[in-house]
Structure 1
C-alpha cells in the first residue's frame, strides 16, 4: 500500500512509538489522526510537528477501552479526512509489579490491562473495518511486545495481554481477509518514557543485546510503515528487538 493520500489513525499517537509512527506516516503523505486518552499536550505537539512539516493531522481524544468512544472517534476522523485506510493499534498500558508477586496481580489490574491492551485493539479494528471493506483495502498493525513471546516483562498481566494481542492479530487477519491485512510489530526494549526512573536498567540491558543498542521509537516506526506498505503480508508477528529474544 502506498501511504500517500491515505488516512491513518494512530492510537496513543502523542508519545513514544505512537508519535514516531505518526510523524513518519505524515512524512509519507498520509493524513494522520493522533489519538490520545490523557496525553493531550503531547498529542497536540505531535500535530504541530506534522503541520509544521507541511502535513495534515488532527488530535482526537478517546479511551480505546470504550467501544462507543472508539466508534465516535472513527466517525469523526472520517468526517475530517475521509474513511480510514490505515490503523496503528499502539495504545497500551502497564503496571510495574514483580512477576512472581501473584497477589499483586489483582482482578482490577487484569481487567484494566486487558480492557486497553486487548479489547481496545479489537474495538478499533472493528470500528474501522466497515470503511476499509467499502474501499476494498486496508491495513492494521497491532503493536505487540516481546513480553508476549517470552512471558516476562513489567508484570504478568501485561505479558499475557501482549500474548493475546499476537493471537488477536492472527484471528483478525483471518476474519478481515481478503481486503484488510492485519499484522503485529513486536518491539523489544525501546527508549520511551516507560523507562523513566529505570534508565540504568535499560542501559545495562543494552550491553546484553546482540546489537548492543536499545531500539528507538523511530526504529519501530519504520518497521510499522514497512509492514503497512507490504501488500503480501498478513497475520505475521514481526519482532524488532536487537536480538534480545534470540
Structure 2
C-alpha cells in the first residue's frame, strides 16, 4: 500500500466513526495524517502510530476560521505541506428526524455552519499551500440524501446539497493551479454514532436497504475504496464530480 507515500492529508471529524476509518485508511496507504475534531482525536492518532504510521492530532472547530488556519499552519510546520484535505466533519448522527417546519432557525444555522462553512473554511485555509505546491486534492463529504431529497431532515439535506455545489464551484476556480476538488456522497452508513441513534433503526434502515441494488447495510469500510481513489493520483483527471457510494440506491 503506497499510493499516498510522501503525501500529507488533513482529515476533519476524525475522532471516531467514519472519520477515524478514513484517517486509518489514508495512513495505511502511506499518508502522513493530520487529524482534527472538537477534541483532539488522540485515540485515532495512537491507533495509526501503533501500526507504524505518522499522525498529528489537533483540537479544532472547523467553523472557527482562525483555528482552522492555525491547524493548517501547524501541519505545514510539522510536515512541510498539505496534499489532501478530507472535509468530513459534519452534524448528522445525533440529529433528530422531524418535519422541516419544526427545525428552529438556530438549529438550521448550526447545521449549515458545521456542514457547509466548515468545508469552506478548511478548503480556504489549505488553498495557499496547495497553490504553492501546484498540486492538491480536496475531497468534500456530501450525502446521497442530497439526490433523494430525503424527508424529515431538511437542514441536513440542504447542507449536503450546498457541499456538492461548493465542490463544483471550487473545482472550476482551482483546476489551473493543479488542484482537484471532488465530492464523496455516502448513503446511510452504520457507524457507531448512527447505531446509537434510535431513529436510525427498524423500518427506516430496512426501507433504505430495500432501495439499493446491493441489499445490505453499509459500513464505514465500504467508503474506503472511493475515498482513496479521490485522494490519490488515480483520479488526477477528475474534478468537480460527486461519487455516490450507497449500494446503488441513488444511480447518479
Give TM-score scaled by structure 2 length.
0.90
The equivalent of 2:17 in structure 1 is: 16
- Rounded to whole Å, the distance in 2 between the matches of 1:221 and 1:231 is 18
The alignment partner of 1:177 has SS state of helix
Instruction: For residues 189-212 of structure 1, give each alpha carbon's deviation from its aligned partner in whole angstroms, at most 9, with x where no partner exists.
Output: 101112323343435532442211
- Rounded to whole Å, the distance in 1 between the matches of 2:26 and 2:118 is 22
Deviates more, 1:147-156 or 1:81-90: 147-156
Find 2:229's aligned residue among 199, 219, 226.
226
How many residues align structurally? Answer: 241
1:35-50 equivalence runs, <5 A: 35-38=36-39, 40=40, 43-50=41-48
Find 2:159's aligned residue among 137, 158, 161.
161
Cα shift at 1:166:
0.3
The alignment partner of 1:123 has SS state of helix
The alignment partner of 2:15 has SS state of coil
Alpha carbon RMSD of aligned pairs, Å? 1.6
The equivalent of 2:84 in structure 1 is: 86
Give TM-score scaled by structure 1 length.
0.93
- Rounded to whole Å, the distance in 2 between the matches of 1:26 and 1:189 is 24
CA contact (8 A) 1:8 1:86 kept: yes
Cα shift at 1:222:
2.0
2:205 aligned with 1:206:
no
Cα shift at 1:78:
1.2
Instruction: For residues 195-236 of structure 1, give each alpha carbon's deviation from its aligned partner in whole angstroms, at most 9, with x where no partner exists.
Output: 323343435532442211122111112211111221111000
Structure 1 residues not aligned, in runs of 5+: none
